[in-house]
Chains A and B, each alone.
Chain A
Amino acid sequence: MLRVVSRRLVQLAITLFALMTLVFFWLRSLPGGPVDALLGERATPQTRELLTKALGYDQPIWVQYGRFLKNVLTGNFGNSIRTGEPVIDVISRSFPATAELAIAAIILAVGLGVPLGYVAARHRGRVLDNATIIVTLIGISVPIFFLGYLLKGWLTQGVHLFPPSGRITTGLDNTEVTGFFVLDGLLTREFDASADALWHLVLPAVTLATIPLAIIIRITRASVLDVLDEDYIRTADAKGLRNPTVRRRHVLRNALLPVVTIIGLQTGALLAGAVLTEKVYNWGGLGTLITDSISGSRDYPVLQALILLAAVVFILVNLVVDLSYAVIDPRVRVR
């Protein structure tokens, strides 16, 4: 176990180094740059030269790259070009918002997806099963921003079931501890803040969860059907075990293996989906930060750090997935 983890961490370091290099050169090969973005078209050549020098972009690119690497290794990701704040501060301010949204979406997708997929499988070929297949197909196909605006239009205007945007009602006096507003409310016993944050969270989480939910339902259904055909289920039935025991102990555990893998792979899609969802609901997390950093200012330091962060999250989640795989399936443990 420890060897697996340490090997994976070494892999993580190599991947991150490669990604850093790639992102560094890729960003700088794009037309335009922070100088153009900050000064606009009508700036004089002198101002441009001054700013270029001030930002250090007059140096040869290899020198810039070397400095970047050195800074990153010492934990310094530089300052945001847009605001001048340290990148770390900018990102850690936005991170909890996105993490809260993504975690809520995952809980929703797994919490609903596994039972629904299981029920669909038990009703194979009947109305409920066919309905599930059609609904999940729609769920997978609907673009996130379309669904987002649709839900927002239906449920926040006219009926006012949910707030249209933001993470918490403006003016509500909530104390921030972790930046996870729902959790903060519980920690500080400001339960009204928790409830308010949760109320704001519903629509974005549903929007973001749709695609993973549909995929998890389908994978669970297919996986349960496979397991039901296995010989060991027949053995369990031959033992006379009660139905719930057979389901819980023999069917579900085996059927969850492929589902766990999918959860890991969906992390990537979730990060991408978060950008769109945050835009729709004006969520103010990393998704908002990344769009602002590209379109507004070409904020190289922030973008580099964001992409690295996404990679770290993806790799770590998949490491956790692989480790939990070993917990569920003893056949994996040997390796």
Chain B
Amino acid sequence: MPLLDVRDLSVVFQQGGKPFTAVDGVSFTVEPGQAVGLVGESGCGKSVTSLAIMGLLPRRGNKVTGEVLFDDTDLLRLRPQDLRDRRGRDIGMIFQDPLSSLNPVIPLGLQVAEVLERHQGKKRQEALREARKLLDAVGIPDPTRRLKEFPHQLSGGMRQRALIAIALACKPRLLIADEPTTALDVTIQAQILTLLKELVDESGTALIMITHDLGVVAGLCDTVNVLYAGKVVERAARHELFAAARHPYTHGLLQSVPRLDAGRGGRLHQIRGSVNDNIPWPDGCAFAPRCDRVIDACIGETVPLEPTFRGGALRCTNPVPQEVPA
């Protein structure tokens, strides 16, 4: 049984003017201990998906439908206070910008300790001792001193480590990481990813990694869901995806990664247009206007997500041909 089973999740923004479908019938599963990637460009709906799972979207102006089964409980139908019992205890979350995600006027120690007080009923002193251990475990030097410090006194990498400590404090069974390295510089990115990988492997926590960076996926994820304009367009095991991406969008993303062995002076591949140049899914494949392999069959009706024989799924009428095994 999967730990998390997202079924036909849709999010419609209804603030002012026309409703906008940010997430459009997304389904995927996460097995216990598994690392799943949600990949796509800015605006494809990956962050909204994660916020919807956590119930963190503002209730005003958003319509969330579908099911989010965690342990067979539909999180979308839980009463708000019951969901609060689970957030931070069963599911932890790390955010993109570690500075703005930490409260500037509260000492770091309390920001870690309060989640332990809330879910494990610890008293302040005991929670702070535990917080010290947690900060130590995520590689923050001199944790005793850091407990009393404020976010602005820490470096970007430290802040993200602190956020990780907060998210993992109650040993959740699922960790959602929303672009955890995007706001960090490259050397720190690698450290944070290594740390995440270690912690996840050690604790057996399942992971949903939301990123636009295929390098992150390559290093961390077992299964990858590629999102485009609110829908999953391709799902595959990591090595399948990197060996033979079938969807032209995934293929394009992979081609766009700069490679050291590509020879000098060559132009970097880019997918033309932007995520805004799409057609509505009911009228065909949203990616068609940007696609190099577009054919007549791509336009007219929604392209279904079909299972592939290798256990993945694909939403494409004219996929990139598989290389014939030698």
CB-based contact B152/A331 at 8 Å: yes
Q: Is the interface of A mostly helix, strand, loop or mixed?
A: helix
**Contact of A240 (CB < 8 Å), options: B85, B101, B104, B152:** B85
Q: Least Cβ distance of B254 to chain A in Å? A: 31
Within the assembled complex, what's the spacing in Å between the Cα atoms of A332 and B51? 33
Q: Could you list 12 A-B pairs, sorted by A, with CB under 8 Å?
A: A231-B95, A232-B102, A234-B56, A234-B101, A235-B95, A235-B163, A238-B54, A240-B84, A240-B86, A241-B118, A245-B118, A249-B114
- Taking a contact as CB atoms under 8 Å apart, the answer to whether A250 and B103 are in contact is yes
Residues of B within 8 A of A75 (CB): none
B114 contacts A237, C-beta separation under 8 Å: no
B180 part of interface (Cβ distance < 8 Å): no
Contact of A238 among B87, B97, B107, B152 (CB under 8 A): B87
Among candidates A125, A245, A331, residue contacting B104 with C-beta atoms closer than 8 Å? A331
CB nearest neighbor in A for B89: A240
Q: Is B105 part of the contact surface with A, judged by Cβ < 8 Å?
A: yes
Is A237 in contact with B56, judged by CB distance below 8 angstroms?
Answer: yes
Which A residues are CB-close (under 8 A) to B89? Answer: 240
Whether, in the assembled complex, B257 has its beta carbon less than 8 Å from a beta carbon of chain A, the answer is no
Chain A residues with CB under 8 Å of B93's CB are 238
B94: shortest Cβ distance to chain A, in Å?
9
- B115 proximal to A (CB < 8 A): yes
Q: Are B114 and A245 in contact (CB under 8 A)?
A: yes
Q: Which of B111-151 contact A (CB under 8 A)?
A: 114-115, 118-119, 150
Chain B residues near A253 (CB, 8 Å)? 105-106
A91 to B272, CA, bound (A): 78
Residue A291 interfacial (CB < 8 Å): no
Q: Give bound CA distance, A152 to B167, whole Å.
A: 59
On chain B, the residues within 8 Å of A231 by CB distance are 95, 97, 100-101
Cβ-based interface call for A239 (8 A): yes
Closest 3 CB pairs of A and B: A240-B88, A240-B87, A239-B88
User: By the criterion CB–CB under 8 Å, are B115 and A241 in contact?
Assistant: yes
Query: How close is A134's CB to chain B, nearest CB, in angstroms?
Result: 21
**B285 on interface, CB distance cutoff 8 Å:** no
B147 → chain A closest CB, angstroms: 14
CB atoms of A240 and B115 under 8 A apart: yes
15 further A-B contacts with Cβ under 8 Å, apart from A234-B56, A238-B95, A238-B167, are A231-B97, A234-B101, A235-B163, A239-B115, A239-B118, A239-B166, A240-B83, A240-B86, A240-B87, A240-B118, A245-B118, A250-B106, A254-B103, A328-B105, A331-B152
Contacts of B97 in A (CB 8 A): 231
Q: Tell me which of B92, B100, B114, B119 contacts A230 (CB under 8 A).
A: B100
Q: In the docked arrangement, what's the CA distance between A125 and B163, Å?
A: 33
A236 contacts partner chain B, Cβ-Cβ < 8 Å = yes
Instruction: Tell me the bound Cα distance from A235 to B165 in angstroms.
Output: 13
Q: In the bound complex, what is the Cα–Cα distance between A234 and B101 (angstroms)? A: 8
What are the residues of chain A within 8 A of B104 when measuring CB–CB? 232, 254, 329-331
Kindly provide the distance from the CB of A324 to the nearest chain B CB, expressed in whole angstroms. Answer: 13
Contact A242 B152 (CB under 8 A): no
Q: Tell which of B87, B150, B167 touches A237, judged by Cβ atoms closer than 8 Å.
A: B87
Distance (whole angstroms) from the CB of A24 to the closest CB of chain B: 45
> Which of chain B's residues have a CB closer than 8 A to the CB of A250?
103, 106
Q: How far is the CB of A332 from chain B (nearest CB, A)?
A: 10
Q: Which residues 233-276 of B sit at the A interface, judged by CB distance below 8 A? A: none
Closest residue of chain B to A125 (Cβ to Cβ) is B60
CB proximity of A240 to chain B, nearest CB, Å: 3
Distance of A101 Cα from B106 Cα, bound (Å): 36
- A235–B101 touching, CB < 8 Å: yes
Cross-chain contact of B152 among A236, A239, A330 (Cβ < 8 A): A330
- Which residues, 13 to 52 on B, are CB-close (under 8 Å) to A? none
Cα A236 to Cα B81 with chains together (Å): 14
- B88 touching A238, Cβ below 8 Å: yes
- Rounded to whole angstroms, the CA-CA distance of A213 and B320 in the bound complex is 67
Q: Is B114's CB under 8 angstroms from A239's CB?
A: yes
CA distance A329 to B107 in the complex (A): 11
CB distance from A323 to the nearest CB of B (A): 16
With A234-B56, A235-B163, A235-B166 in contact, do A330 and B105 touch (Cβ < 8 Å)? Answer: yes
